[in-house]
Amino acid sequence: MPANTLMHAWILAVVLFGLGVAGLLARRNLVFMLMSIEIMLNAAGLAFIAAGARWGQADGQIMFILILTLAAAEVSVGLALILRLFSGTESVDADAARALHD
Amino acid sequence: MPTRPGRCTTDMATLLWLVPALPLLGFLLLFLSAGRAPRPVSALIGVGSTALAAVFALVLAGWLLSQGSGVLRVTLWRWIATAGLQVAIGFQLDTLSLVMMLVVTFVSFLIHLYSSEFMQQDEGYSRFFAYMNLFVASMLILVLADDLLLLFLGWEGVGLCSYLLIGFWYRNPSNGYAARKAFIVTRVGDTAFMIGLLLLATHLGTLAIGPMLAGAQVQWPTGSVLPTAAAALLLGGAVGKSAQLPLQTWLPDAMAGPTPVSALIHAATMVTAGVYLIARMHALFELAPSVLLAVAAIGAATLLLAAFAALAQHDLKRILAYSTMSQIGYMFLALGVGAWSAAIFHFMTHAFFKALLFLAAGAVMMRINDEHNIFRMGGLRRELPMAFWSFLIGSASLAALPLITAGFYSKDLILWSAWNFRPGGAVLWLAGLLGALITPIYIFRAVFVVFFGAQHTRPSSRYGVRIVLPLTVLSVLALTAGFVETPHALGSISALSRLLASTLPTRELAGSAALQTVAMVIAMVLALLGIAIAWWIYGRGAAGALRASAPVRALARWWLGGWGFDWLYDQTLVQPFLWITRINRADVIDTGYGALAALGRLANGLLSQTEDGRLRRYAGWIAAGSLVAVAVAMFA
Amino acid sequence: MMLTWVILVPVIGGGVAVLAERSGTDAPRWIALAAVAIDLALIIAITVTGPAALTAASAHGPWLAETYWRWIPQLGISFRLDLDGLSLVLILLALSLTALSVMTSWKEIAERVGMFHANLLWTLAGIVGVFLALDLFLFFFFWELMLVPMYFIIALWGHERRVYAAIKFFLFTQGSGLVMLVAILALVFIHRRATGVLTFDYFALRGTPLSPRLAFWMMLGFFFAFAVKLPTVPVHSWLPDAHTEAPTAGSVLLAGVLLKTGAYGLLRFVVPLFPQAAHAFAPVAMLLGAISVLYGAALSFAQDDMKRLVAYSSVSHMGFVLLAVFAWTSLSLHGAMVEIVAHGISTGALFIVVGMLQERLHTRDLTRIGGLAAALPRLSALMTVFAIASLGLPGLGNFIGEFLILLGSFSVNRSLTIVASLGLVAAVIYALALIARALHGPERIPPQAHMPLTDVGARETTVLAVLSAAILWLGVYPRPLLDAVATGLGALQSAAGVTMTSASGSGAQRTPGSAPGGDYSGVPVRYSPHSAGPAP
């Protein structure tokens, strides 16, 4: 893979990550926030894959698989929490979960 | 070392430690009985133990005198034994401690006997004898100790007993105040004494009196800094205990205690401990001539100050208290001019006549509802002849009535020694003479006001033998004890000074016999003049005219308050101390930690503001934080 | 091995006490007493059968018994316990006071009796461990261990503001302990860099070559922890709160023994590990000691709460100990040991007396009571005995301690010694104020008092009689105690070596020079064998 292709892949990763952050900060719906986190994770994964391809190392793919499992675990725990919250408050609004504070 | 080894010496050594041990045992028995012992038993233990101690003291005296000049020593056990300091619990009996021991045990016995009747109605009968016995034990330890640290033990012990006995009637807060004042003021002196002990032990390596003084004489040149400092510090202790300037303020208040206590502790024995200390340490004080001069000056100043203050008092016991201060001033004067045996002589006669005066005063007051104010008494000589004659004899001896009283001979010897002192002898002599004029005025003022004139009170009942006997014995002693030492013109007897010569240095007085006689006649005339003045003012009733004059009233007020020393100390020491402790009650340092804790709580409040539970804000913080971290990694 | 049991017995006893609570409230008390008795028997057996080093210097040095196990060899940590005269005296004090504490709290503690006595015994175990451990890690372990049960004693069984006091106590001691931990680790790592051996062993670390700067900071780390525990002004302020709010047994243990771990640490660790630094720091430490003496006494006088009054008097007394340790002469160290024991007895006794008064009157407020001497004559007499012991009356233990301390310090620093001796006047003021306000004056008994007032009973009389006999014995015949600690102190002094020695030596030399003239050849008789100046 040539160097500037790597650059493009990384720019894509950064853009994806930025979208994720923006989504996380802007959305109030917990489900969408969870999805934003997924996007950020995927951005990181993309960066790893690209770097692995650039230097012909397996490490990038290994890290991607790690991130994949992490994301799966995160989504399952996160969704479970959201479901509990929803059954309690009838809402998936993040700010409504503030009641957990104090 | 015992003078002659053998069975007799060992027996005597046992007797020696038994003398202080008996009253101590009496105290322990009374303390452990916890007030459950019946009154006669308490009295028996109290009086009996001191009586036995007095008998033993007599036996010891006979033995020691038969030995010629000797010293009896007994070591009981080693008290402190560390690498650097060896202190033994041990007693030594030389002629100086012999005189002290005899006076202490005898006067104690008589006063205990007197108390057993005087305190009959008091609820704390057994407690009283417990404290008194502890006092006698401590006082005997003080005079017999052969180590300065053991002496200090006795010294503090008598201070404690003085505190306990002044505050004996503890329900009245003013008694407790007087007791605490006595303890604290003397403790100031005692602390100086203690620092003196540190100095001596540090530089001489021992506190055993004999070796220590010998070491001081070898190592320290006369007038150098170390002996001067050490002597000055010991003088601090002596001044506190003997109620001399500037630590004299506690003694008048100490009269809050029962009268036998005033007689024993605050007249005859404890307050003269300072005199004994200086006499005992004479070798050290002779290395410090400037301190010795200070002793004389303090003595002269105190004897005058106290005599004038005594002129203005209404309270019979306070008159006697100021008189005690004044007479101890004479003893200090004697010590200061190097007339060691004269000081001890005056201590002895003073112990007799002052104990007599207090006991007689107590005998008066116990019959008139414990009235202390002399102006509410009057005309009592017919109703209370026993008390009257005892008080009169005591007063005559105190006033140094020529020829027939003991006080005359001892005071005369002091005046004559002062006259011979160089430099400054003339001034000291004049101060002593002025005192000799004031003394008869203030004491016969009391005599005339209390026993003559119109009668204001009706005394009740008669005295039992336990009061009559001590008064009689002390009256005889107050008259005759002076014949052991008389001036040239009157037989030139010197039994006491010859006895003491083995312990205390004697000084050949320079003045001729004729000069001594002239000085003696002057003192005689002054004593008689003083009595005459007192008669003229208080006997014939010129006092009213005197009181009418404003300057006299102002002066009397000033003297009544003891020259304002109490006020001065209150303003400069007591009030500032109270103020500091009051404002700092909550401990300003703890306030600092409180501020630290408050700061912690404030930070906690601020930081918990950020934990508001808004998930998206957390995410924002995370994002911002990562951005900063990346920026730092890239640009730093 | 035996030494391990000395620590284990209270630990096990505590466990048994918790379990025994089910079979009645008195069972834990008896078990606690039994555990202490067994421990006492053990330690006496060890002393008697051990090498006879107690009175005479022997081949064994000062050590009477030792236990050595490898614990975590990878980190150079061993389980090392050593007993010398110093530790022996302090352990005996701790055991006796614990037994008396159990007896005093017989009626006072009614809830969770088993747990209370377990905590008491566990504190004791920690304290005994502190006095025995000579591996720095192990020492720190015990140092922290004794805090926890004491925290619970204050926080659960204490008086009105117990939680505040307990947290304050914990923060002060824990925080200062942390500083000591840093110093310990620094010392260990520096030792490893110098010798290549990783060890926490006291004897190995004692000779570590240190740069003066580093040594000073490390010494300060140790000093800080011990100064807080002692306590010394200005880090004393946890003490009045902790003492006041703790139940009687807690106050007795705190004042009687826990404070002594601070003094012990100064003696055992600060000076022998860092002699030069300690010497350099001595004037400051002695100044702090003198200030503590006076400041504690002044504050003590101002208090209305009896327990607080007694607590501040501890600050004053421990100031003397600080002065003594940093004077580091044979006399002052002996004095410090006597003062430690005498203070443990007299102040412990005063706390017990105040506890008895509180049991009867339900208040400790001096503004609301007075004239108790009439209603409680025997208790008042005993209280007076301990108060006058506290003010340093000759013939009672405290005087011996204070006199030797002042005498030993006098040749090292004259002016500070004189300042400290003013504490003798101040002590009279607060001790007499306590007697006057509580016992004398017109009788005032608060309405909530437990009427009619009963004077001390047999159990209480026993406790106080034992204590007053002990304080009297210490005052008239302190030699057994002085002999017991002599070898241990001598070994510490020679371990501290040249530096502190020359400190006291130069002090002794300074003094004769102050005499003008100098036309005499007499050099003062030195009383300290370790203040080696040139021989005359």
Taking an 8 Å cut-off on Cβ atoms, the answer to whether B616 and A24 are in contact is yes
Residues 228-267 of C with CB under 8 A from B: 233-234, 236-237, 240
Q: What are phi and psi of B145, to 5 degrees?
A: -60, 140
For the segment C72-86, the average pLDDT, to the nearest whole number, is 86
Q: Read off the pLDDT of residues B384-402 as tens digits, 9 standing for 90 and up.
A: 888 888 899 999 999 888 8
Task: Return the structure tokens found at B228.
Answer: 């001067």
Per-residue exposure over B332-364, b if at least 16 CB sit within 10 Å of its own CB, e if not: bbbbbbbbbbbbbbbbbbbbbbbbbbbbbbbbb
Taking an 8 Å cut-off on Cβ atoms, the answer to whether B613 and A100 are in contact is yes
Predicted local distance difference test score (pLDDT) of residue C516: 35
Predicted local distance difference test score (pLDDT) of residue B195: 93
Q: State how beta strands B72-81 and B86-93 pair.
A: antiparallel
| C395, C418, C522: residue with CB nearest B157 | C395
Locus of tokens 């003078």? B3
Residues 6+ apart with CB under 8 A from B169: B175, B256, B258
| C234, C330, C524: residue with CB nearest B203 | C524
Query: Which residues in A lie closer than 8 A to residue B625 (C-beta atoms)?
Result: none
| pLDDT over 60 at B45, yes or no | yes
Q: State how beta strands B72-81 and C63-72 pair.
A: unpaired
Measure in Å the smallest separation between the Cα of B193 and chain C Cα atoms: 11
| pLDDT over 60 at B265, yes or no | yes
Query: Which residues in B lie closer than 8 A to residue C522 (C-beta atoms)?
Result: 218-220
| C443, C519, C527: residue with CB nearest B85 | C527
For the segment C439-450, the average pLDDT, to the nearest whole number, is 82
Predicted local distance difference test score (pLDDT) of residue C521: 32
Percentage of chain C modeled with pLDDT above 90: 30
| Chain A, nearest residue to B615 by Cα | A94
Taking an 8 Å cut-off on Cβ atoms, the answer to whether C234 and B584 are in contact is no
Measure in Å the smallest separation between the Cα of B609 and chain A Cα atoms: 11
Candidates C296, C299, C353, C300; CA nearest to C321 is: C296
d(CA A78, CA A55): 35
Residues 6+ apart with CB under 8 A from C454: C360
Q: Does C447 touch chain B (CB under 8 A)?
A: no
CA distances from C336 to B244, C292, C321, C329, C413 (A): 35, 15, 5, 10, 16
d(CA C133, CA C529): 28
Predicted local distance difference test score (pLDDT) of residue C61: 66
Among B478-482, C63-67, C530-534, the range scoring the smallest mean pLDDT is: C530-534
Predicted local distance difference test score (pLDDT) of residue A85: 83
d(CA C297, CA C424): 9
Task: Return the structure tokens found at C351.
Answer: 């706390």
Predicted local distance difference test score (pLDDT) of residue A1: 62
Amino acid occupying residue C417: T
Predicted local distance difference test score (pLDDT) of residue B511: 67
Cβ-based contacts under 8 A for chains A and B? 32
Candidates C255, C247, C307; CA nearest to C434 is: C307
Amino acid occupying residue B520: M
The residue that leads in pLDDT, C344 or B484, is C344
Measure in Å the smallest separation between the Cα of A97 and chain B Cα atoms: 8
Helix (H, G, I), strand (E, B) or coil at C206: helix
Q: pLDDT-based confidence at B377, cuts 50/70/90?
A: confident
Query: Do B292 and B336 meet the contact criterion of CB atoms below 8 Å apart?
Result: yes
d(CA B478, CA B471): 10
d(CA B352, CA B480): 10
| pLDDT over 70 at C524, yes or no | no
Q: State how beta strands B86-93 and C63-72 pair.
A: unpaired
Q: Count CB atoms within 10 A of the CB of residue C99.
A: 20
d(CA B330, CA B248): 14
The interface pTM score, or ipTM, of the predicted complex is 0.88
Amino acid occupying residue B623: A
Predicted local distance difference test score (pLDDT) of residue B561: 80
Measure in Å the smallest separation between the Cα of B600 and chain A Cα atoms: 20
Among B155-159, B554-558, C224-228, C352-356, the range scoring the smallest mean pLDDT is: B554-558
Q: What are phi and psi of B86, to 5 degrees?
A: -115, 120
Domain A3-100 class, CATH top level: mainly alpha
Query: Do B340 and B333 meet the contact criterion of CB atoms below 8 Å apart?
Result: no
d(CA C187, CA C74): 17
| pLDDT over 60 at C244, yes or no | yes
Q: pLDDT-based confidence at A100, cuts 50/70/90?
A: low
For the segment B110-116, the average pLDDT, to the nearest whole number, is 90
| pLDDT over 60 at C55, yes or no | no
Query: Do B457 and B316 meet the contact criterion of CB atoms below 8 Å apart?
Result: no
Query: Do B269 and B139 meet the contact criterion of CB atoms below 8 Å apart?
Result: yes
Amino acid occupying residue B621: W
Query: Which residues in C lie closer than 8 A to residue B188 (C-beta atoms)?
Result: 425
Query: Which residues in B lie closer than 8 A to residue A98 (C-beta atoms)?
Result: 612-614
Task: Return the structure tokens found at A7.
Answer: 């650059």
| pLDDT over 80 at C394, yes or no | yes
| Chain B, nearest residue to A21 by Cα | B623
Q: Which ranges of B119-172 would DSSP assign to H, the alpha helix?
A: 125-144, 148-166
Using CB atoms within 10 A of its CB, is residue B454 exposed (0-12), middle (13-18) or buried (19+)?
Answer: exposed
Predicted local distance difference test score (pLDDT) of residue B618: 82
> Is C in contact with A (3 or more beta carbon pairs below 8 Å)?
no
DSSP C521: -
d(CA C527, CA B606): 61
Measure in Å the smallest separation between the Cα of A22 and chain B Cα atoms: 9
Predicted local distance difference test score (pLDDT) of residue B233: 93
Instruction: Indicate the helix (H) or strand (E) that contains C103.
Output: helix C85-108
Predicted local distance difference test score (pLDDT) of residue C262: 92
Predicted local distance difference test score (pLDDT) of residue C508: 36
List the beta bridge partners of residue B373: B315
Instruction: Indicate the helix (H) or strand (E) that contains C316.
Output: helix C306-327
Candidates C269, C147, C171, C169; CA nearest to C220 is: C269
Task: Return the structure tokens found at B99.
Answer: 């005189």
Helix (H, G, I), strand (E, B) or coil at B6: coil
d(CA C286, CA C409): 9
DSSP-assigned letters across all residues of B547-560: HHSHHHHHHHHHHH
Query: Do B339 and B370 meet the contact criterion of CB atoms below 8 Å apart?
Result: no
Amino acid occupying residue B436: A
For testing the chain A interface, which of B608, B616, B621 should be mutated: the one with the most A CBs within 10 Å? B616
Candidates B111, B2, B110; CA nearest to B60 is: B2
Q: Rounded to the nearest 5 degrees, what angle is found at the Cα of C438, between the Cα atoms of C434 and C444?
A: 155
Predicted local distance difference test score (pLDDT) of residue A101: 60
Predicted local distance difference test score (pLDDT) of residue B64: 83
Q: Read off the pLDDT of residues B203-250 as tens digits, 9 standing for 90 and up.
A: 888 888 888 888 888 888 888 888 999 999 999 999 999 989 888 888
Measure in Å the smallest separation between the Cα of C437 and chain B Cα atoms: 9
Helix and strand tally (H, E) in chain B? Answer: 27, 2
DSSP-assigned letters across all residues of C146-199: THHHHHHHHHHH--TTHHHHHHHHHHHHHHHHHHHHHHHHHHHHHHHHHHS---
Taking an 8 Å cut-off on Cβ atoms, the answer to whether C424 and B187 are in contact is yes
d(CA C381, CA B584): 31
Q: What are phi and psi of B77, to 5 degrees?
A: -155, 165
d(CA C382, CA C331): 31
Query: Do B317 and B262 meet the contact criterion of CB atoms below 8 Å apart?
Result: yes
For testing the chain B interface, which of C313, C399, C432 should be mutated: the one with the most B CBs within 10 Å? C432
The residue that leads in pLDDT, C244 or B375, is C244
Measure in Å the smallest separation between the Cα of B597 and chain A Cα atoms: 23
Taking an 8 Å cut-off on Cβ atoms, the answer to whether A101 and B623 are in contact is no
| C234, C395, C421: residue with CB nearest B153 | C395
The structure's pTM equals: 0.86
Average pLDDT, chain C: 84
Query: Do C371 and B170 meet the contact criterion of CB atoms below 8 Å apart?
Result: yes
DSSP C73: G
For the segment C500-512, the average pLDDT, to the nearest whole number, is 37
| pLDDT over 90 at B62, yes or no | no
Q: Read off the pLDDT of residues C190-202 as tens digits, 9 standing for 90 and up.
A: 888 888 888 888 8
| pLDDT over 90 at A89, yes or no | no
Query: Do C31 and C17 meet the contact criterion of CB atoms below 8 Å apart?
Result: yes
Query: Which residues in B lie closer than 8 A to residue A21 (C-beta atoms)?
Result: 619, 623
d(CA C57, CA B152): 33
Query: Do B431 and B303 meet the contact criterion of CB atoms below 8 Å apart?
Result: yes
Candidates C260, C239, C228, C250; CA nearest to C92 is: C260
Query: Do C245 and C158 meet the contact criterion of CB atoms below 8 Å apart?
Result: yes
The number of residues making up chain B comes to: 636
Q: Rounded to the nearest 5 degrees, what angle is found at the Cα of B542, between the Cα atoms of B540 and B546?
A: 160
Query: Do B213 and B284 meet the contact criterion of CB atoms below 8 Å apart?
Result: yes
d(CA C312, CA B293): 43
Taking an 8 Å cut-off on Cβ atoms, the answer to whether C517 and B79 are in contact is no
Please write down the HEC assignment for all residues of A29-65.
EHHHHHHHHHHHHHHHHHHHHHHHHHHCCCHHHHHHH
Query: Do A28 and A94 meet the contact criterion of CB atoms below 8 Å apart?
Result: yes
Domain spans of chain A, in order of start: 3-100
Query: Which residues in C lie closer than 8 A to residue B190 (C-beta atoms)?
Result: 424
Predicted local distance difference test score (pLDDT) of residue C4: 86
| B78, B170, B194: residue with CB nearest C479 | B78
Candidates B353, B339, B226, B322; CA nearest to B278 is: B339
Percentage of chain B modeled with pLDDT above 90: 25
For the segment B617-632, the average pLDDT, to the nearest whole number, is 87
> Helix B385-398 to helix B406-419 angle, to the nearest 10 degrees?
10
| pLDDT over 90 at C130, yes or no | yes
CA B467 remoteness from chain centre: 25
Locus of tokens 């004794």? C146
| B198, B221, B581: residue with CB nearest C520 | B221
For the segment A11-17, the average pLDDT, to the nearest whole number, is 93
Using CB atoms within 10 A of its CB, is residue C497 exposed (0-12), middle (13-18) or buried (19+)?
Answer: middle
List the beta bridge partners of residue C68: C80
